[in-house]
Amino acid sequence: MALTRRRYWAMAVGSVILRLLFICFSEDLNLGFRPEVATPVTSLRRLAEGYWLKNSSMSPYSGSMYHGSPLLLPVLGPLTVNRVKGLPAHLFCSLIFVIVDFVTAMLIRATGQKLMSTYHRSLQLLNLSCVQETAGHTHVGDLASLIFLWNPFTIITCAGSSTSPIDNLMIVLSIYGACSGLSSLASFGWVVSTHLSLYPAILVIPVILLLGYGPDAPPSKLFFLKKSNESGGSCPKDKTCSEQKSKEESHIRNFCWRPVLFFILWSLIWSSYILFLSFISLKEFGGLSEMVKKTHGFILNVEDLSPNIGVFWYFFAEVFEFFRSFFLIVFHINILFMLVPLVIRLRHRPCFLAFVYIAIMSMLKSYPSVGDSALYLGLLGLFANELAEMRFSFFLLCGYVGISLLSPVMHNLWIWRGTGNANFYFATGIAYASLQTVLIVECVSTILKHDRMLRNKLTT
């Protein structure tokens, strides 16, 4: 899929115009009230309530409304209450989210360009020209950024009074910084994203691998295999042969600790700075202990059982209180169980590993939204060449479209018409989680098949 520069920018600008149109009609669409779009952690209406409480000399965490970062209050809070020339205040926040989405897409595009150049260089060193010719037709950076910009989930999140675009920007900023070898930028994105929604903390593993090994490449054992195959034959000891061998040996990636140590140092600096600013913001309202309890503690304890597209709310609404603590541990530790096996098998593809981790946490977090899915669906385009042979693509596409249409219908039947019950809406959540599970399994399986295909072509 080769896009000309003019065509690419025309499509990018078109996505921005579409967002502006949705923003103009956002009040009629009531997207900010949809449980699929805004959660107790990302709702802009709740942020406006927290900002009002703080301006009234009360803790922004009073009651049970606001559970976001205190640092978002002075940034977005004034935009939620001040009207300019009679225009609704939320329009200005939505305009900021349009800019944030566009910046996120450009970072995804730049990340894709780095991945593509690194992977093509690896294929050249392995003399796999046939694979390179097939993979070279798709510019994954352009494709991934356009998928992100034109994804309906991204558009309704941008216009739906949700702070998810900021969370997504910080996650992509961390991945881009790690791909570029910029430890300070990677640590900033990782620290801020963890501060905002906790779950991105697990991305520290792929970020460290990206800094240590570099962007995705075929397994190192393929380079050793090629070297061993060539060592059996005769090679003239000329300058060209020696230069080729030195390039191959340099591309056999050894872990570099220097950028990782800088990442750890910068993470400590950024964490201290954010905690200091949070303490200053809340020094009259309980300090950091109040913030941790009402933000990260709220996420882990699943205190708000209002319906969403996840599976936590229904289960903990039904479970006996005696077993609540046990199942809280089981549900949250379920994410951690998947980290080690995946990193062992996919450590040579840290960027793809980050995509898998983002998809897993989007599926298993306590307060998910379609904004979380918009991010990993956009990142999916970065691996279009490797995932070209993925099975069930049409089934997954139809499943996402079907769930997107059924979820608001089932919610309406249950809440407003009274002709359904909670099981109607929860069934769409179960189907949604099942689709995401199939997507993750198929993506990982296809990537591993692609690596085996490279090995087979190298040995034949």
Quick check: is 118 in a domain? yes
The answer to whether 184 touches 262, Cβ cutoff 8 Å, is yes
Strand partners, 84: 87
Percent of the chain topping pLDDT 70: 88
Kindly tell me the number of DSSP H helices and DSSP E strands found in the chain. Answer: 22, 0
As a whole-number percent, the residues of the chain with pLDDT over 90 amount to 52
Question: Residue 238 is encoded by which pair of tokens?
Answer: 């000329």
Distance between CA atoms of residues 300 and 117, nearest Å = 40
Asked if residue 238 belongs to a domain, the reply is no
- Whether residue 299 is contained in a domain is answered as no
Q: Which two tokens stand for residue 154?
A: 């991204």
Residue 442 pLDDT exceeds 90: yes
Q: Looking up tokens 């009360």, which residue turns up?
A: 58
In contact, 42 and 365? CB cutoff 8 Å: no
Q: Is residue 136 part of a domain?
A: yes
Model pLDDT, residue 170: 96
Q: Supply the pLDDT for residue 63.
A: 79
Angle at which helix 204-213 crosses helix 350-364, to 10 degrees, equals: 170
Buried b / exposed e across 315-350, counting CB within 10 Å, b at 16+? ebeeeeeeeeeeebeebbeebeebbeebbeebbbbb
Q: Supply the range of the domain harboring residue 264.
A: 5-230+246-294+305-459
Q: How many domains does the chain have?
A: 1
Domain assignment present for residue 237? The answer is no
**Beta partners for residue 43, in sequence order:** 162
Residue 235 clears pLDDT 70, i.e. is over it: no
The SS3 call for residue 266 is helix
3-state percent breakdown (helix, strand, coil) of the chain, nearest 5: 75, 0, 25
- The single-letter code of the amino acid at 438 is V
Query: Is residue 444's pLDDT more than 70?
Result: yes
Q: Between 129 and 105, name the one with better pLDDT.
A: 105
| pLDDT confidence bin for 83, thresholds 50/70/90 | low
* pTM recorded for the entire structure: 0.92
Query: Where does the pLDDT of residue 131 fall: very low under 50, low under 70, confident under 90, or very high at 90 and above?
Result: low
Q: Establish if 63 belongs to a structural domain.
A: yes
**Could you give the 3-state DSSP secondary structure of residue 365?**
coil
Name the band, by pLDDT with cuts 50, 70 and 90, for residue 234: very low
What's the burial of 148, exposed, middle or buried (CB within 10 Å: 0-12/13-18/19+)?
buried
pLDDT at 452: 87
So what's the pLDDT on residue 220?
A: 74
Tell me if 133 is assigned to some domain. yes
Residue at 239 is within a domain: no
Mean pLDDT score, 421-431: 91
Three-state secondary-structure class, residue 43:
strand
Per the rule left: phi > 0, alpha: psi between -120 and 50, beta: everything else, 66 is: beta
Q: Are 309 and 36 in contact (CB under 8 A)?
A: yes
Read off the pLDDT band of 77 (50, 70, 90): confident
Residue 91 Cα distances to 21, 84, 88, 160, 163, angstroms: 11, 10, 6, 10, 13
Q: Which two tokens stand for residue 267?
A: 């993470």
For residue 85, the one-letter residue type is K
